[in-house]
Amino acid sequence: MQETKKVVNFGRIKSKIDLPNLIEIQLTSYEWFLQTKSSKKKSQGLLSVFEEIFPIESPHDDVVLEFVNYEIGEPKYSEYECKERDVTFAAPLKATIRLIRKDSMEVREQSVYMGDIPLMTERGTFIINGAERVVVNQLHRSPGIFFFYEEDERVYNSRVIPDRGSWLEFEMDNKGYIVGRIDRKKKFPVTLLIKALGCETNAEIVKLFYDTTKIKLKSEEDYESLNGRRVAADIISRSTGEVIIEASERINIDIIDRFKEEKVSDVELIEFPNNKEDAYLCTTFQVEPEFIKKNLRVDEGHDYSNSELALLALHAVMRPGEPTNIDNARTELERLFFNPRTYSLSSVGRYKINSKFGFEDMIETLTKDDIIHTVKYILFLIAEAEGYEYTFTDKNGKKEKKYVYTIVDDIDHLGNRRVRSVGELIMNQIKVGFQRMERVIKERMTIQDLDVITPQALISIKPITAVINEFFGSSQLSQFMDQTNPLAELTHKRRLNALGPGGLSRERAGFEVRDVHPSHYGRMCPIETPEGPNIGLIVSLSTYGRINDYGFLETPYRYVEKGRVTDKIEYLTANIEDNYSIAQANAELDDNGNFVKSLIPCRNRGNFPYKKPKEIQYMDVSPEQVFSVSTCLIPFLEHDDANRALMGS
């Protein structure tokens, strides 16, 4: 065993944190996928794929295949032998599968060979057909709900982006109402979707989005004050039973006269946010009946509720030409957003939604509340309100108030972009193979003789081996390792690539997505990126940067307590960092960790204010944390000309 040499640091600033394992990102991600070292496996990676696909029931509901567990065997050849023989360094994947006949409850259990899984070497690489390859980390847009302001058209819009499934978008229409779109198809009034989710009346919908206030009508002034206001509920004549004015409609002089005639004693009015009356939702109510009439032919014999009519109209928009009935419409809406097999926000998407709206659900499909709060958020953005308050009921039935701040999202912020590492990339590919295998199994269940059938005879491993070979052999993210020198090798393993399946393309990527962003500080190197068409799309992880459980980039900071810098290290994501003022690593400290100067230059959201020591919450751990490993090796980088540094990296 080689003796570790003592490192002598001649630098003026001493780092309070050791350099991390520089290929940890590769090793931990693949261990997360295979779980070879843990005795009790968690529901993640390969195990979660098995649990998602199994149990598989036959179409006739007489046989069921259940998954028990899996194990990874020993590789046939060593790494050296694989390189010599031009073969793949892989180990057999064996799964224990149970076949149950429902009529006789007979159980047959068997260990089934599911193909070979490539193993990662201790250097963070794979050996495929004798050649060493690296799977590059992919930087992509995080699932979740995002809100934008389009400068050209001067409109707000939002996108609900899932990990898997249909996109849902809401936007301001140029005719003055809010529309929804599913998978970029035909637009529909947003109230149609809300009614399809179970809201029957306009008054119900108004109360979901706006506060209301009840006004007693005693004097002439009370009646006059109603002019121009909008009502929150239908007002019905006591004498005739007809509706005088419908919810969300504006009161005028004629309506006030009717109120006097009918001796209306109180009226419930809408309180618009920021005291700005925006008629977007109210206008949407008006266009909705016309939209239903245009897109839906209803048999006169049927008496549908408002909610059912909305469901049918939505189905007619989504599936034009198909026969429309209530069951079909309900199943289609369920399939689009509420069925875990066809729609998934993933744990990341749910985390992003919960942090935006303050929810506590852990369900990975959309909920009715998600959709309602998305529309409410847009309405408050239009009104330029700071935010809104709502009452939340927790798991114990206790009610508490929560406040949501309404701000437009920056899609290039690293809080909205995440990293897919090698484990997640391979898991997504294997999931595709397992889904194809599931179809083959169901076909075989109908053909084969149930008396002699075994799990091995039902399972075809061809789809699984095909997707694994395709991923490692021809994916844009699986690359021959750069072996020019050890530094090039290390840099390749720490690379972040915004291209590839589910990412950007060189042609579509604009200037903004390639540019350096304040949230890159300590997470992505601003210097190391190739020249040419890939500039800004292929970047490197910063020296101390790491990836958290949700795939977001984190960087370490020293905690500052009451103006004194401690040795406590905390890792922050870009979103959390935005809330704090952070001092530079070269800020002068005394022996006790107190700041020497009374005003310290800090960073906050891309601004550089001077703050008093007590107003500072964190401090950088090292001047090197901004840059990648290879950039840090440029001697006297801080004195280098920017263009020379860019060339040197």
103-159 pLDDT tens trace: 888 888 999 999 999 999 999 999 999 999 999 999 999 999 999 988 887 888 899
Q: Is the pLDDT of residue 393 over 80?
A: no
DSSP state of 582: E
Which element (helix H / strand E) includes 67?
A: strand 63-72
Asked whether residue 193 falls in the same domain as residue 302, the answer is yes
Tokens representing 247 are: 């919810």
Instruction: Report the pLDDT averaged over residues 498-506.
Output: 90
pLDDT of residue 493: 95
pLDDT of residue 244: 80
Instruction: Report the pLDDT averaged over residues 217-226.
Output: 79
In which order are the strands placed within the sheet that holds 144-150? Answer: 144-150, 155-161, 168-172, 178-182, 188-189
Asked whether residue 367 falls in the same domain as residue 304, the answer is yes
Which residues face 150 on adjacent strands?
Answer: 155
Tokens representing 419 are: 């990293």
Q: Is residue 356 part of a domain?
A: yes
User: Which of the pair, 3 or 66, is modelled with greater confidence?
Assistant: 66
Cα(540)–Cα(490) distance, rounded to whole angstroms? 11
For 113-124, letters b (16+ CB in 10 Å) and e give ebbbbbbbeeeb
Tokens representing 118 are: 């490539």
Asked whether residue 176 falls in the same domain as residue 302, the answer is yes
Cα(40)–Cα(35) distance, rounded to whole angstroms? 9
Angle ∠(427,432,435) on CA atoms, nearest 5: 120
Asked whether residue 385 falls in the same domain as residue 349, the answer is yes
pLDDT of residue 300: 58
Q: Find, among 11, 53, 19, 47, the residue nearest to 32 by Cα.
A: 47
* Containing structural domain, residue 196: 144-201+283-405
Band (256; pLDDT cuts 50, 70, 90): confident
Tokens representing 317 are: 């928009």
Q: Is residue 526 part of a domain?
A: no
pLDDT of residue 251: 81
User: Largest alpha-carbon pair distance within the chain?
Assistant: 99
Roughly what angle, to the nearest 10 degrees, separates helices 45-53 and 24-34? 30
Residue type, 387: G
Q: Is residue 315 part of a domain?
A: yes
Asked whether residue 179 falls in the same domain as residue 325, the answer is yes
Asked whether residue 180 falls in the same domain as residue 38, the answer is no
- In this predicted model, what pLDDT tens digit does every residue of 270-317 receive, in sequence order? 888 877 777 778 778 888 888 888 877 766 556 677 788 888 888 888
Q: Which of 383, 405, 427 is the last residue of a domain?
A: 405
Asked whether residue 310 falls in the same domain as residue 445, the answer is no
Q: What radius of gyration do the chain's Cα atoms show? A: 30
Asked whether residue 29 falls in the same domain as residue 128, the answer is yes
pLDDT of residue 2: 58
Asked whether residue 161 falls in the same domain as residue 246, the answer is no
Q: Is residue 351 part of a domain?
A: yes
Band (648; pLDDT cuts 50, 70, 90): low
Q: Is the pLDDT of residue 436 over 80?
A: yes
Share of the chain above pLDDT 90, in %: 45
Model-level pTM?
0.89
User: Which of the pair, 396 or 540, is modelled with greater confidence?
Assistant: 540
Q: Is residue 181 part of a domain?
A: yes
Instruction: Report the pLDDT averaged over residues 357-363.
Output: 85
Q: Which of 442, 462, 493 is the last residue of a domain?
A: 493
Asked whether residue 349 falls in the same domain as residue 456, the answer is no
Band (322; pLDDT cuts 50, 70, 90): confident
Query: Phi-psi category of 536—alpha, beta or left, where left has phi over 0 and alpha has psi -120 to 50?
Result: left
- In this predicted model, what pLDDT tens digit does every residue of 606-629 receive, in sequence order? 899 999 999 999 999 998 999 999
Cα(130)–Cα(106) distance, rounded to whole angstroms? 45
Band (568; pLDDT cuts 50, 70, 90): very high
Q: Is residue 487 part of a domain?
A: yes
Instruction: Report the pLDDT averaged over residues 219-229.
Output: 80
Cα(42)–Cα(56) distance, rounded to whole angstroms? 21
The mean of the pLDDT values for the chain is: 88
Q: Find, among 148, 548, 159, 144, the residue nearest to 353 by Cα.
A: 144
Structural contact between residues 111 and 155, judged by C-beta atoms closer than 8 angstroms: no
- What CATH number is given to the structural domain containing 108? 3.90.1100.10
pLDDT of residue 320: 82
Residue 627 CA from chain centroid, whole number? 27
**Cα dihedral sign for 427, 433, 436, 440?**
negative
Q: Is residue 379 part of a domain?
A: yes
Q: Find, among 572, 627, 645, the residue nearest to 604 by Cα.
A: 572
Angle ∠(447,452,457) on CA atoms, nearest 5: 65
Q: Find, among 23, 26, 29, the residue nearest to 428 by Cα.
A: 29
Cα(68)–Cα(96) distance, rounded to whole angstroms? 5
Residue 343 φ then ψ, to 5°: -140, 130
Residue type, 104: S
pLDDT of residue 361: 81
In 211-273, beta strands by DSSP E: 211-216, 235-236, 243-245, 266-271
Q: Is residue 459 part of a domain?
A: yes
Asked whether residue 100 falls in the same domain as residue 122, the answer is yes
Cα(7)–Cα(320) distance, rounded to whole angstroms? 71
Half-sphere exposure of 366 (CA within 13 A, CB side): 28
> How buried is residue 104: exposed, middle or buried, by Cβ count under 10 Å (0-12/13-18/19+)?
exposed
DSSP state of 93: E
pLDDT of residue 33: 94
Q: Please name the residue ranges forming H helices in 265-421.
A: 280-295, 306-318, 326-333, 346-357, 368-382
Residues 22, 28, 29, 30, Cα dihedral to 10°: 110
Cα(180)–Cα(183) distance, rounded to whole angstroms? 10
Per-residue three-class SS string for 499-546: CCCCCCCCCCCCHHHHCCCHHHCCCECCCCCCCCCCCCCEEEECCCCE
- Residue 199's alpha-carbon distances to 128, 202, 208, 337, in angstroms, are 56, 8, 10, 17
pLDDT of residue 185: 85
Asked whether residue 340 falls in the same domain as residue 429, the answer is no
Structural contact between residues 171 and 387, judged by C-beta atoms closer than 8 angstroms: no
- In this predicted model, what pLDDT tens digit does every residue of 623-636 receive, in sequence order? 899 999 999 888 88
Angle ∠(143,319,374) on CA atoms, nearest 5: 35
- What CATH number is given to the structural domain containing 236? 3.90.105.10
pLDDT of residue 485: 92
Which residues face 498 on adjacent strands?
Answer: none
Q: Please name the residue ranges forming H helices in 405-522.
A: 422-447, 455-458, 462-474, 486-493, 511-514
Cα(268)–Cα(347) distance, rounded to whole angstroms? 41
Structural contact between residues 558 and 566, judged by C-beta atoms closer than 8 angstroms: yes
Q: Which of 374, 405, 436 is the last residue of a domain?
A: 405
- Say how many C-beta atoms besides its own lie within 10 A of residue 305's C-beta: 11
Structural domains counted in the chain: 3
